[in-house]
Amino acid sequence: MGLTWRGYMEDMGKDPSRERSRCAHPQLGSTDPTQSASKTDQYASRHNPFAYFRSITGNVPSCRRHVVPLTKLSRDLRFPGRTPNLSFITPDLCHDGHDAVCADPREKGGFAGIDEFLRRWVPRILQAPSFRRNGLLVVTFDESESDASSCCFAPTGPNTALQGIYGPGGGRTGAVLMSPWIKPGSVSSHPYNHYSLLRTMEDLFGLRHLGYAANSAVAPFGGDVFQGRRAP
C-alpha cells in the first residue's frame, strides 16, 4: 500500500556496550541487558514493541532503517517526505513515568519526567507540516500503577490466564488525542481499550484487523472522538 512507518526509541544506543544504536533487542535465549537502567542509558527493549516481531528483527537492514533512536525524529518531522505515515514514539524509563527516581540523578522521573518529555516533543509534532495537514497524535499508557481491571472485551492470552499481572487487564488509563479532526477540549467518557486503538489505526490506514482487534466486541474510536475537520 506504500505506507511508511518508524519506531523512535529514546536513549537507544546511548551506551553501545548495552545495545545497538538501531534495531536494538536482546538475542533469543540471552539475558536482556536493558532490563535495568544505567546512569548513561535508560532505554528498555521491553518497551520497544518491534523487538517482539521476528518479521522485523529477522530483516536486519530493514529493522535498522525503521527502528531508530528518538534523535532522528526532529529531522523526519521537518520534511513531509521523511515523515512516516505511522510513528511510534517510546520515552526512556525516566520520561515514561516508570521510574520515580532515575538511574541518572540529573534526570527527572515520575510525572515530572513525563511532563518534561511532552513539553519537549508535543509542540514539535503539532507544528510538523504532515501533522498540520491531517495528523493524529495519541498520548497513552500501557498500564496503570496498581489497578488490574479491564473493560470492553479483554480476552485471555494464548499463554497466560490473565491479561494483567494481577488481574484481567492493565487497569484504567487515560489517553489524550490531538488532531485537526478532533474538536479542541472535547472529552469522551466512552470506555475504550488498547485493542480499540489498534483497530482505529487499522481502519484509518485501510488495513485488515490484527489478532484480537478483529473481534466484533472491539469498538474503534467513534464520533465521540472524531467530530469532523476543524475549519481553518
Question: Structure pTM?
Answer: 0.94
What is the model's pLDDT at position 228? 67
Helix (H, G, I), strand (E, B) or coil at 130: helix
pLDDT, mean of residues 96-115:
93
Per the CB < 8 A criterion, the answer to whether 151 and 168 are in contact is: no
Q: Is residue 232 predicted with pLDDT exceeding 50?
A: no
Residue 81 class from Cβ within 10 Å (0-12 exposed, 13-18 middle, 19+ buried)?
A: exposed
The one-letter amino acid code at 166 reads Y
DSSP structural state of residue 174: -
Q: Give the percent of the chain with pLDDT over 90.
A: 82
What is the model's pLDDT at position 231? 42
pLDDT band at 157 (very low <50, low <70, confident <90, very high): confident
pLDDT, mean of residues 77-103:
95
Taking CA 115 as the corner, what is the angle to CA 114 and CA 120, rounded to the nearest 5 degrees?
Answer: 100
Taking CA 42 as the corner, what is the angle to CA 90 and CA 116, rounded to the nearest 5 degrees?
Answer: 60
Q: How far is CA 91 from CA 36, 43, 113, in A?
A: 15, 8, 10
Per the CB < 8 A criterion, the answer to whether 73 and 42 are in contact is: no
Average pLDDT, the chain: 93
pLDDT, mean of residues 192-216:
95
CA distance 33 to 212: 31
